[in-house]
Amino acid sequence: MGFGSGLPLALTFGTLSFWLSEVGVSRTSIGLFALVGISYSLKFVWSPAIDRLPVPLLTGRLGRRRGWALAIQPALALAILALGLTDPRTDPGVTAVAAVIVAFLSASQDIVIDAYRIELLRPEEQGAGAAATQWGYRFGMLAASAGALYAASFGGWSFAYAVMAGLMFVGMAAVWFAPEPGGVRPLDPLPGDSRVARITAWLQRAVVAPFADILTRRGAFAVLCFVVLYKFGDALAATMSNPLYVSLGFSKVEVANIGKAYGFVTNLAGLAAGGVVVLRLGVFRALFVCGILQMLSNLMYVLQAWVGHDVPTLALTIGVENLTGGMGSAAFVAYLSGLCNSAFTATQYALLTSLAAVGRTTLSASGGALADTVGWGPFFGLATAACLPGLLLLAWIIRLERRADQP
């Protein structure tokens, strides 16, 4: 399932930015294309419907989580195919609309898959489950990055996206053969005699209660700000990494071989290491250690911009970035999973990951214009500094938790 979740993200993010760079779209426009992923930041809006409503025909046979997944995934495959048939050189607006549709369906799929994972696993299994899901997720991103670049080198971008659309059947097969989690709260009858009363009761149960459960917790505002900012610096750098490689003269095959395939291996190593760090140090200390390493790894892009077209330096840059990024992701997903109340799994996890996606979409949209203004080296230096607010908030949250634990 993680594979099917990771596949479409790269097709609207890194791989799409490479395609746009290759056909001559400006850095500023490429940065603005990050906004096509706004659905990842807004998915909490429709997550209550996915969390609480059945899908006709499918829910009765497959269960609520699997029914929704198999309703979304075929539409997602068709949307990916349609995106590949657009021409960003002559009509970037159509490409943007197609990418928005892919991102919307991908975000909806994530709501279901994240809820499935959290409900299937016991609390003590969430760290390992997060790492395992991230492994599958990275396999999907590898296929949609290195695999798509190889396919585009062979048959063009339309062919590459058609192949990626076909690979969505891997995720469909996983959902079909997987068991439905047993911990899903049943859909109780709604109180009230009138339609208005039933709608009001549904909104209270499906929308108000999950959000109120989070907002009434100790330090809620600081926690939500931390969720937005923890991966912001990392996402800001990642948004412009492929345009950097293209501007330095790296080919699709070079980026696929080193930047994606080798980076994939180091990312898996980082995910495994992050899972171990969470087990050894606990979630909070793991977040802090991995966050510092994430921040320092952005300086490798500064080195790459200074050195230029140099394959060994590219391998070092990608290796360090993916290793530390994997560690940070494992710790972060474990933290987000632990924040969820099992009564509102899909809605709450969608809210948290929506906030986390703000850094990758809305806040990172200005990255292209900033890189055009200050140049590559200073831009990645600023991306490194952008990691600091999240770490400072984390230190404050840790201090707050320690005070609460004191008798």
3-state secondary structure of 185: coil
CA dihedral 400, 115, 112, 13 (to 10 degrees): 40
Q: Rounded CA gap, 196 and 201, in Å? A: 9
What is the 3-state composition of the chain as percent helix, strand, coil, each rounded to the nearest 5? 85, 0, 15
DSSP 341: -
pLDDT tens-place string over residues 232-245? 999 889 888 888 99
Q: Rounded CA gap, 41 and 39, in Å? A: 5
- Per-residue tokens: 332: 């972060």
DSSP 309: S
Residue-wise DSSP of 323-334: HHHHHHHHHHHH
Q: Are 52 and 202 in contact (CB under 8 A)?
A: yes
User: Comparing C-alpha atoms, which of 50, 45, 74 is closest to residue 64?
Assistant: 50
Q: Rounded CA gap, 191 and 367, in Å? A: 49
Band of residue 81 on the pLDDT scale cut at 50, 70, 90: very high
User: Comparing C-alpha atoms, which of 137, 103, 145, 141 is closest to residue 361?
Assistant: 103
Q: Are 248 and 309 in contact (CB under 8 A)?
A: yes
Q: Are 346 and 111 in contact (CB under 8 A)?
A: yes
Is the per-residue pLDDT at 85 higher than 90?
yes
Band of residue 210 on the pLDDT scale cut at 50, 70, 90: confident
- Per-residue tokens: 346: 């899909």
Listed range (128-132, 136-140, 170-174, 226-230) with the worst mean pLDDT: 128-132
Question: Tell me, what's the pLDDT at 218?
Answer: 79
Is the per-residue pLDDT at 202 higher than 80?
no
How far from each other are the two terminal CA atoms of the chain, in whole angstroms? Answer: 43
3-state secondary structure of 265: helix
Q: Rounded CA gap, 229 and 218, in Å? A: 19
User: Model's pTM, two decimal places?
Assistant: 0.70
pLDDT tens-place string over residues 45-63? 888 788 778 888 887 788 8
- Give the domains, in start order, of the chain with CATH numbers: 2-179+194-405 (1.20.1250.20)
Band of residue 190 on the pLDDT scale cut at 50, 70, 90: very low
Other CB atoms within 10 A of residue 124 CB: 8
Residue with the bigger pLDDT between 195 and 385: it is: 385
User: Comparing C-alpha atoms, which of 203, 201, 239, 243 is closest to residue 357?
Assistant: 239
What is the residue whose two structure tokens read 């002559």?
Answer: 90
Q: Are 307 and 298 in contact (CB under 8 A)?
A: no
User: Comparing C-alpha atoms, which of 109, 21, 38, 141 is closest to residue 364?
Assistant: 38
Q: Are 335 and 123 in contact (CB under 8 A)?
A: no
* Per-residue b or e along 132-149, where b marks 16 or more CB atoms closer than 10 Å to that residue's CB: bbbbbbbbbbbbbbbbbb
Question: Tell me, what's the pLDDT at 205?
Answer: 67
pLDDT tens-place string over residues 252-261? 888 888 866 6
